Amino acid sequence: MRVIFLIARDAWRHMLRDRVAVVGALLLLVLTVIAAATSHERQRDAMAQRERYQADVDQQFDAQPDRHPHRMVHYGQFVFRPLSPLAAFDSGIDAYTGTMIFLEGHRQNTANFGDARQSSSLLRFGQLTPAFVMQTLAPLLLVFLGFGLVARERAAGTLRILITQGVSGRQIAAGKALALLGAAAAVLLPAAMALFFLAFGDVQAMVSASLLTAGYTLWLAIWALGIVAVSTLCARPRDGLMALLAVWVTVVILLPRLGAAWADARAPLTTRFETDIAIARDLAAIGDSHRPDDPHFARFKADVLKRHGVTRLEDLPVNYRGLVAIEGERLTSALFNRYATASFERQAAQSATVDSLAWLAPTLAVRRLSMTLTQTDLPSYRRFVEQAEAYRYRLVQSLNQMQAEKVDYVNERKGAGPTRIAQSNWESIPDFVFDAEAPQTVIARAGQPAMVLLVWLLLAGGALAAAARTLDGRVSSAMRRARVPDTRSTEAAS
């Protein structure tokens, strides 16, 4: 072990003497701090803004004057998606999914006002977050720090000297790997500190921050071991640099983009225009309450009259129009939910396709792990949308129930009497409260990408061990070749 630490110490000393490496490391550390600070400030402002807007719209809804309940159905309500404590570390898909949903009767609206819709196209290259720095820039820094750790020794001739002094190739590789792992730890430290700062005071967030720190440790360790393995196998430092840059471009940039394109080709999503046309066609098929001769609502009317034992709508103990509104909302909501579920399932299929490529590009695994633990992934967004839709349905149906029970049918039909109900009815409707996902569910969902990273770490360790075993043999054979000319020259002289 002492030899390994001595080799690592020598490698650290060489890194500190390399001005380019030191400047690059300092720039990355500063960039991580800036990314963490700006992301935290952006998240804090966004959260305060959403909470303020939510309180305002809740107050405005409750303050509506005496009205007909159906007017309140169309007045609607807004709900804003709350941010998880760790969303500042990794914004995930939040920039593209929207933050607010308008809830109204007869319609199921999508979330609006995503950052990508309000910003320039540069946002699609990636927001400056600590996660982006760790996933994209940190591996590149490790490449420049470690590409010549072993290859430089071979080119300078010191590798042969070390082995002739009894140092094994495994010890050399282990020492160089330890040095680069130490550099990776220094790179990760500011990001880990930012994670725990964001999670402070929230037990669930602290658990997620701990697991996420472990995940990024695996990610950087994969790169550190892989870089040393490539440097061990390459004869010249520049060969190692070119090979590692090609790997970085392929794994970090190319494969994730190709994976997204492949997923879209395998499970393409319908456009909003196509979905609206299909929904309109199905709505016409299930029944239209505004058509007197509609078969479904004709049967519904007959069933209502029979159930109450009357022959006229005026004799019903409730407002028939309110009952029709309840039935119509039930039908349309079921249709909307069916299309929404199909859309989310296709998006989930796309995500699964991309995740399958994580066995070729661990970048996809660390991204999935990061978005899952920060709750900025597709399942977290879907949870918000489905809870918002469930609240919309309860809100609209409670207003329709008020119309059925508190508004006189004859007065409403003839316009001969009061049809408004008291403001206190709106105040009695509960506000929307988002129910966050249980910690064990989030952790379970993070298991698959974590397993992929573990496998990649084992592969990187195995590659380094294999490269280290070849080191002794390559140096020994080189030394034997170097002695052959000396023997021949001695024989010739004799």
With tokens 């030899």, the residue in question is: 3
Q: For 430, which DSSP code?
A: P
Q: Which of 129, 211, 133, 136 is nearest to 362 (CA)?
A: 136
Q: Which residues have CB under 8 Å from 469's CB, separation 6+? A: 169, 170
Residue-range domain boundaries for the chain: 1-418+436-481
pLDDT, residue 471, reads: 79
The reported pLDDT for the residue numbered 485 is 54
pLDDT tens for each residue of 27-60: 999 999 999 999 999 999 999 999 999 999 999 9
Nearest 10 degrees: Cα torsion 109, 115, 119, 121? -90
Q: What is the CA radius of gyration of the chain?
A: 32
What pLDDT does residue 293 have? 74
Q: What is the pLDDT of residue 115?
A: 52
Task: Give me the pLDDT at residue 128, please.
Answer: 87
How far is the CA of 375 from the CAs of 92, 308, 354, in angstroms? 8, 50, 18
CB-based contacts of 52: which residues, under 8 Å, 6+ apart? none
In the prediction, which pLDDT does 481 show?
Answer: 57
pLDDT at 208: 95
Find all residues with CB under 8 Å of 321, minimum gap 6, and list them.
403, 404, 407, 409, 412, 413
Spell out, as residue ranges, where the chain has pLDDT lower than 70: 113-126, 292, 416, 472-494
Q: Per-residue b/e over 42-78, b at no fewer than 16 CB within 10 Å?
A: bbeebbeebeeebeebbeebeeeeebbbbebbeebbb
Q: With beta carbons less than 8 A apart as the criterion, state whether 76 and 364 touch.
A: no
Phi/psi for 108 (5° steps) reads -125, 100
pLDDT recorded at residue 272: 83
- Note the pLDDT of residue 414: 79
Could you give the strand order of the β-sheet that contains 107-108, starting from the edge strand earlier in sequence?
A: 77-80, 100-104, 107-108
> Hey, what are 283's tokens?
């709505």
Q: Give the per-residue pLDDT at 96.
A: 84
CA dihedral 431, 434, 435, 436 (to 10 degrees): -160
Q: Which two tokens stand for residue 390?
A: 């469930």
Which sign, positive or negative, has the C-alpha torsion 61, 64, 69, 74?
A: negative
Contacts of 157 (CB under 8 A, 6+ apart): none
**How far apart are alpha carbons 65 and 42 in whole angstroms?**
37
